[in-house]
Structure 1
C-alpha cells in the first residue's frame, strides 16, 4: 500500500477524550502460513528463562518459531541477538539522541572491528560475543547486510529519540520509512541467511521483488507490533507508533485508527503472497536457497503474530485471553517523569 504524501513534520495534536478499551483486528486468521517450532525449542526456552529480567519476554519461543530449521548453535545465536535487541529497544526508549549515538558508536565499532576494538561497556561485550560466533559460518554477503542494516537501525532510533523529545509526530509516509529501520527487522532478515547456512548473491538479494518481500514482512511485523504495543506506549506518552500518526493525519478516533492500521497489516500479508508469484529464476541452487529465505520471512510473519500474545511484553498475563476476545482495556496515562 502506498500512503499519500503529506507535509513531512507535524506537531502533536490536541489530546481527545480517552476511551477505555480497543478491539484488535483479527490478523491471526488472515495469516495462513504454517506455524512451526524448532526441534531445539525446549532447550532454548529453558536457557532463556534463566535470565529473570526477560522471563516474561519469551524470546526463546519467538526464536523457535522464526528460525524453525536452524541447528542449535545458530538458533542459540539468533536467540541471544533477539534478547539483546529487546534490551537495546528498552534502552533506546529512555535515551535522548546523544545517548543513542553513544550506544551506536560502541555497537557498530564492535561489529566493524570485532577483534581490535574494545569497550568496557556491557553492550560492547555482548555485541562482540555474538558477532564473533556469527562470522564463523555467515557468508560475506550476510555479514555485510547484517552490519549495514544495524547501522540503519541506530540512525533511525536517533531520529526517533529526537521526535520523542520534541513531541513531534511524523506524517505517515515518513513514519513508515523510519519504522522499517527502528523495528530492527532487517538484521533479523540477515539472520535468516545465517540460520539456514545460505549464501545468496548480492544481486539476488537486491532484486526489487526480493526487497519488496522483505519490506512486506517488515511492515506486517512492525505495524502489527504497533497495534499490540499501543496500550503500553500510550500509557508512557510515546508517540512513535503508527496509531497516533494515523489518528493525526487521517483525523480518526482511536478505534478507527486501529482498524485502519489493521487493514494495512492485512494488505501487507496479501502483498507478500502476491509478490512471490513474480519471482524470476536464477537457477536451481539459487532458487532453492531463495525459497528457504522467503519461507524464513513467512515464518517471521506468522511467528511474530502468535508470539505477541504469548509474551508478557504487551498484554501481561492476559495475552491468551486478548487473543481470544481481541479486547484490550487501556492503561491510565502515567505522570510525565523529569
Structure 2
C-alpha cells in the first residue's frame, strides 16, 4: 500500500472555529453496566502507577482526569476483582505508553517495545531496571495465573503488532507522511491497542475458547467492527487536541487529504463510517454459528464484551478529561467542539 507524502500541517481555513460531532451515542443502543469493584480498582491501580514517585506534576493530574477505572469497570463488568485489577493496570499503563509514544521517534518506540515484549515473552527470567519493563512483568505475571493459553498467545501477538504499528506511526510523523485511507485503516487497527484488550475479555471472564473458534471469520469480523468503532470514534473525539499539536495520525486529516474535502465534511464522513461499523457488528452478531452449548455460552460472553467496549468507549470519552477537558458533559449534550489554537513549537 502506498503512502502519499504530504506536509504535516494541513491548511485550515481561518474561519473554522468549531466542529459538530456526529451523534454516535444514540446510534448505539447496547446496555451500560458497571462493576461494583470500580472504586477499589481505581484506588489500587493509582497506587501501583504512582509507586516510587512515578508520574509527577501534570502527568499525575492527567491520570486523575483519565478515569480509566470507570472505562475498565464498564468494559469488563462481570470480571472478578483480581482480573479486573490486572486489566485496569494494563489499560492505565497502555494510555501511559500511548502518551509516551506520541513524543517518541521510531528509535524510542523500538526500545520501549524491546522492554515490554521481552517482559511478556519471558516474565520470569527477563531482567531489566526500566520502569516500563517492571510494570509489564508485574501485571502479566498476574494475568498468566488464570488466562487460557490461547488468550495469552493472542494477547502477546497483538501487543507485538501494536508496537510494530506505532513504530510506523512514529516514522510517518517524523517524515510528515499522511497515508491514504486504506493504509491508515490497516495501521490504525493495530495502533489502537484494542486487540490485546479483546484477548483480555477472555481472561477477565475466565473463558477458554478454542483457537479455531476465535479464528472463525464471524468472530474475527465482530472484533474488527468493534475495533473500528472504538478507534474511528476516538479519532473524532481526539481530533481537537491532536490538530493543536500538528499530529496528522488521525482519520479526519487523512480523509481531508485524500478526498479534498473541508474539515466538517471529513468529520461527518468518519462519523458515518462509525455508524456503519456499529451496524456491521449487529449484522455479524446475528450470523453467529453454533459450536455446541458450552462454547456458545463462552462466545456469547466474549461478544457481549466487545459490545461493552463499543458502548462504553462512546460514553466514557465524554466522562474522561482526555479529549474535552472539563467540558465533556457540555460537548456530549451540544456536540459542538471549539477548536484549540495550534501550539507553537519552542
TM range (shorter): over 0.9
Q: Which residue is 2:19 aligned to?
A: 22
Q: Deviations over 1:67-110 (max 9, x none)?
A: 00001000001100000000000000000001000000010000
Q: Which residue is 1:37 aligned to?
A: 34
**2:187 aligned with 1:191:** no
Give the Å deviation of 1:165: 0.3
Q: Which residue is 1:91 aligned to?
A: 100
Structure 1 residue matching 2:19: 3-state secondary structure: strand
Give the Å deviation of 1:45: 3.0
Distance in 1 (alpha carbons) for counterparts of 2:293 and 2:342: 55
Match of 1:322 among 307, 327, 331: 331
Moved more, 88-97 or 44-53: 44-53
Give the Å deviation of 1:47: 3.7
Point out where structure 1 has 5 or more consecutive residues left out of the alignment: 1-5
Give the Å deviation of 1:279: 1.4
**2:226 aligned with 1:223:** no
Give the Å deviation of 1:276: 1.0
Q: Answer whether contact 1:48 1:59 (CA < 8 A) is retained.
A: no
Q: Equivalences for 1:1-338 in 2 at 5 Å?
A: 7-12=2-7, 15-18=11-14, 19-48=16-45, 52-53=60-61, 54-337=63-346
Distance in 1 (alpha carbons) for counterparts of 2:301 and 2:119: 30
Give the Å deviation of 1:278: 1.3
Q: Answer whether contact 2:158 2:190 (CA < 8 A) is retained.
A: yes
Could you state the TM-score of these two structures normalised by the residue count of structure 1?
0.96
Moved more, 285-294 or 275-284: 275-284
Point out where structure 2 has 5 or more consecutive residues left out of the alignment: 51-59
Q: Deviations over 1:224-270 (max 9, x none)?
A: 00000000000000000000000011111000100000000000000
Distance in 2 (alpha carbons) for counterparts of 1:95 and 1:212: 32
Structure 2 residue matching 1:55: 3-state secondary structure: helix
Structure 2 residue matching 1:68: 3-state secondary structure: coil
| RMSD of aligned alpha carbons | 1.2
Distance in 2 (alpha carbons) for counterparts of 1:320 and 1:39: 23
Distance in 2 (alpha carbons) for counterparts of 1:22 and 1:109: 43
Give the Å deviation of 1:9: 2.7
Q: Answer whether contact 2:5 2:176 (CA < 8 A) is retained.
A: no
Structure 2 residue matching 1:281: 3-state secondary structure: coil
Distance in 1 (alpha carbons) for counterparts of 2:276 and 2:283: 10
Q: Answer whether contact 1:10 1:171 (CA < 8 A) is retained.
A: no
